[in-house]
Amino acid sequence: MIIVGIDPALVITGYGVVQVKGTSLSLIEAGIIQTSAKETTAKRLNKIYQGVLKLINDTHADCLVLEKIYSHYKHPATACILGQARGVICLAAATKGIALFEYGATRIKKAIVGKGLASKSLVQAMVAHTLGLKTLPAYMDVTDALAMAIAHNYISRSKI
């Protein structure tokens, strides 16, 4: 099974693709889809959409995983922008006919580390260890995306 994790944002959308063979996980690809603030929102969202479509096609993904949306009441505009990016990613999954899964941040952390309130650095270390990475991803968005893909594998195999 090939799982794509995506950490959406309008500026930098991180992605991580893992392959599951039996009980082993391996990294297929990881990176970012980056847009420029100089572009219109419509062009930026299209770039994310097209990038995710290409990623699904190139990796022959079986499913896509996103973190459930969370926003602080003091920052409603951030939630709207994030919602737009998530929307085009959901559309890409639907267009390609692949399953879409969403988990809360604490559920992902619990699956990866065993504690729902684990620090980002601990999650990052466990992602690197699980995938046998010699260096950490340059962007935390990529680490978060990989964590989502890994967590989905664990969660779908057992009820954590």
Which residues are annotated as catalytic?
7, 67, 141
**Cβ–Cβ < 8 Å for 115, 74:** no
How far does the chain reach from its first CA to its final CA, in angstroms?
Answer: 20
Which residues are within 8 A (CB) of 149 and not within 5 positions of it... i.e. 6 or more apart? 3, 4, 5, 16, 17, 18, 65
Residue with tokens 């650095």: 121
Do the strands 63-67 and 2-7 form a parallel or antiparallel pair, or are they unpaired?
Answer: parallel
